[in-house]
Structure 1
C-alpha cells in the first residue's frame, strides 16, 4: 500500500484547529506533526485547505439488493466519498428485507466487492424474527433497526410483545424510526375525506404530524428505560422530541441517544412551495421553529449526531402526485457542504460540526479506530477548500437517481480530496475507483 504525506493542512480535530502534516502508511495515520520531512509515494500540498475526519453517516438507504433501479452500494458510496463521507451504516428495508443473518451477510458480501466507503449494515427487526435478531454480532454489525412507524415489507414492528422482547433482549444498540402509525392513518383519513385525491405536499407535516413523532419517540424512550436498552432514535424532526433526551452526562455514559438529519436542519415547511415532493421525507420536514429547536438541541448536546437518511428514488417516482410519490431523497454527496454553509452562516462552528459528524458517531457506536485524526487510527480524511464555491448541477450529481434537493444550490466550499482507509478515493473532482471501503468494527 502506498504512503501519503499531507502537508500544511488546517486540521480540525478534537476541538482544535492547527496547521499540521500527516504521514499515512498501510492505511493508517502513522505520524502527525507541525512539520514532517518524510519520503512518500504521494505528497498532497494542503496549504489553504481544511482537513476533517471523514463523516460517518449512521443512516443511509443504498437500495441494494432489490431496488437497484434507484441506487446501489457502488453508486451511492461513490456519491458519499465525493461528499467527504468515508463510512456509512445502511438500513435493512431493502428487498428482501434484511430479516435473517444470511440476508445480512449477503449485503456485506456485496459491499466488500463494490463499496468505495467503509460500511456496516443494520440487522432488521420484525414482529416475528426475534431468533434471528438475537444472533446479531455486536462486534461487526452496527445495530438493530426497529421501524416503529410506516415501513416497507414486513418491517413495521407494532406488536407490543415483539417490541418488549426486542427491547429487553437485543444484544446491541437498537436504532428506531419513530412515528405513530395509528395517528398517521387517522390524519390521512381526515385529509382524504376533505380533499380526496387533491391532498398536497404542504399537508405532509400535518398528516405525519409532530404528535405522531412524539407519541412514538416517547414510547421508545419509555421501553428503553424500562429495559435498560441501548437506544438510538433516528431523524428527530420536532422541537417537542428534543426534551426526551439528556445533555448533562457524557456521551459514553448515555443509554439513550438521538440523531438529527441534514434536511431537518436546512429546510422548513415553507420550502414545500418550491421543492415539492423533492423534500418529502418521513418524518416530515416541519416548521421553522422545529428546525431551529433541532439545531439548538444539536449544539447543547440533547441530540448527539448529524446524519443524512440518504434515501434515493427515481425522478419519475418523485414526480408523481403527493399521495403516490415515495418519501426520501439523496443527500450524502452534499451533506458536508451544507453543514459548512451553516458554519459560514454562524449557526455552528467547524469544531462542533466535526464533533457531531465524526467524533460523536464513533463514540456512540463504539467504532474501532475511526472518527478521529489520531496516530494509529485509520486514515479516513477529507480535505476541503472553504473558499471555493461549488454549484450542484445534474452533471455533477453522482447518486444513481440523478437529482438532488440541492440542485442549483451554490455552496461556499468544495471537497478536494477524500481518503478512505488510507486510499485516495476521490481527488480533484474524480472518483478513484479502488477497493477502499472496509467493514467497520466495533469495540463492544
Structure 2
C-alpha cells in the first residue's frame, strides 16, 4: 500500500487553518498532526514548504458533454482540466445526447467515467415530463440528485407540466437540483428583442431576455411547491439579488430542506462585461447587474447561499461566434474556478476558510457524500496544494479544456494550483496532468 507524508502544510479544514503534516496510506488520510515522521523507508515525503493544503473541491454542477457532444468536450478532457483547477470530484448534468433519463444511459455514463475520468465522479439523473417511473428506480446510494430544467437550456429537457412537477416533488426522495427560469417570460422577452434587432440581438439584451423576473417567478414557485410537498430542493446558479431573499441561514446545510448555489461567473462578471467579453460570457441564467452581484456576495457570506460551483459548460469558439439566437450559452470554468475564488481571498472579499466551506465542505454535506470534502482522519485523501503567491496568466497555451478558450483569458491570478491528489495519488502537478487515473465513484450515505 502506497504511503505518502505531506509536510509543512497550512491545512485548511473545518473553519480553521493550522500548520501541520498529513499522513496518507492508500486512498485514506490516516493521521493529521503538527509534526509527523516518516513511518518507514518506503514513505514518499512531500514537503510543500508552508503552502496551503485544501480539501479537493467538489463541483456540484458540470457539463462534460459526453456522450453525443464530444466535439465540445469529453469526460477525459474536462476531468483533466478539473484536477488542474483543484477539483477532485464532480457531479455531471444529464443534458447530453442521449439524455441521462434512463437507468441504462446513466449506467453508460458511469462506465465511461470509470474508464476515463481523472476526478471522482457522480452523474445526476434527469427528469422529464414522462419518466417518473424510471426516476423511482434510481439507486439513491449512487446518484447525487435528480436534475430538473424548469427553463430550457442546452439540450432541452424542459419540464412544463405542473402536475408532473408536483408528482415528482411529492414522490422523489432524492434532493432535486433545479435550473429555475420561467420559459413563458423568456419567450415573451425574446420575441420583443427579435422584433427590434433581428437575429443578431446585442449581448447586453441577454440579461433582459433571461430576466430577473424570469428567474424569480421560477425559483419562488419551486420553493413554494417544495414547502407544500416536503421535497428537498437545491436551486442552481442564482443570478439575481431578488432571489436571495427566498433563502434562509437559520439551519445548518445538512438540515436545510431548501438550499442554493452561486457560480463563479455570477460572482466575477456583471452586465458591464458584455462590452468586452461578449458571447463568451453568455450563460443561462444570464450574468446580470453589478447590484445583483453585490447581493449574491452578501447572501453567500451570510449563509443564505450554500455552495459555489462552476456550471462548466463548454462550447466551441465557432459555436460561440454564432448570432445571438443560435449562440449556445455556457463556457469552460473548472480549471479557473478555484483560482478565481482565491483571487477574492487576496482582495479580502472572502476568507480562504469560507471558500473551502462553500466549495468543499457544503457540497459534501448537502449531497450526503461519504468521507470527502474535509481534511480529516479516515477521510479520502482528495487534496490540493495551493501557492497563494505565485502569479500566472491564463493563456491559450495553458488551457486544458477541449474547447481551447476561457472567459478568463488574459487574467492574471495570484494563486496557483501546485498539486492535486485524488484518492492519495498525484493527479496534477505544475500544468501537467498525470496519465495515471485513480478516480472513484462517489457513494452517498442516506
Superposition TM-score tier, normalisation by shorter sequence: over 0.9
* 1:207 partnered with 2:214: no
- Map of 2:178 onto structure 1: 176
Match of 1:34 in 2: 34
Which of the residues 42, 45, 55 maps onto 1:43? Answer: 45
| Number of aligned positions between the proteins | 444
Q: Return 5+ residue gaps in structure 2 as ranges.
A: none
Aligned partners of 1:13 and 1:351 also within 8 Å: yes
What residue number does 1:20 align with? 20
Which position in structure 1 is the counterpart of 2:85? 83
Contact 1:97-1:154 at 8 Å conserved across structures: no
Q: Which residue of 1 aligns with 2:325?
A: 323
What secondary structure, in the 3-state scheme, does the structure 1 residue paired with 2:418 have?
A: strand
Structure 1: 5+ residue stretches without partners:
none
Runs ≥4 in structure 1, deviation > 2 angstroms? Answer: 151-154
CA distance in structure 2 between the partners assigned to 1:160 and 1:360 by the alignment: 30
Q: Give the 3-state SS of the residue equivalent to 2:199 in structure 1.
A: helix
Aligned twin of 2:292 = 290
Q: TM-score, normalized by length of structure 2?
A: 0.98
2:363 equivalent among 361, 364, 369: 361
For 1:26 and 1:436, the matched residues in 2 are separated by 11
Given that residues 153 and 284 in structure 2 are in contact (C-alpha distance below 8 angstroms), is that contact kept between their aligned partners in structure 1?
no
Query: What pairs with 1:178-197 in structure 2 (closer than 5 Å)?
Result: 178-197=180-199
Report the equivalent of 1:411: 413
Query: What is the distance in 2 between the residues matched to 1:198 and 1:153?
Result: 21
Alignment check: 8 A CA contact 2:63 2:93 kept: yes
Q: CA deviation at 1:112?
A: 0.2
- Residue 10 (structure 2) aligns with: 10
**What corresponds to 2:95 in structure 1?**
93
**Greater shift after overlay, 85-94 or 31-40?**
31-40
What's the Cα RMSD here? 0.9
Query: 2:154·2:329 contact (CA, 8 Å) conserved in 1?
Result: no
> What residue number does 2:239 align with?
237
CA offset at residue 236 of structure 1?
A: 0.3
SS of the counterpart of 1:43?
A: strand
Deviations 1:143-199 (A, max 9, x none): 100000013455100001110111111121100000000000000001111122241
Structure 2 equivalent of residue 249 of structure 1: 251
CA contact (8 A) 2:11 2:19 kept: yes
Q: Take 2:384 and 2:440, find their aligned partners in 1: how far apart are those partners?
A: 17
Q: Kindly tell me: are residues 331 and 395 of structure 1, through their superposed partners in 2, closer, same or farther at Cα, counting changes over 3 Å?
A: same
- Relative distance call for 1:316 and 1:155 in structure 2 (3 A) is same
Q: Is the 8 A contact 2:64 2:75 kept in 1?
A: yes
CA distance in 2, matches of 1:278, 1:41: 46
Q: Secondary structure at the match of 1:197?
A: coil
Does the Cα contact within 8 Å between 1:421 and 1:436 map onto a contact in 2?
A: yes
* Aligned equivalents of 1:108, 1:341: Cα separation in 2: 34
Q: Residue 41 of structure 1: CA displacement?
A: 3.5
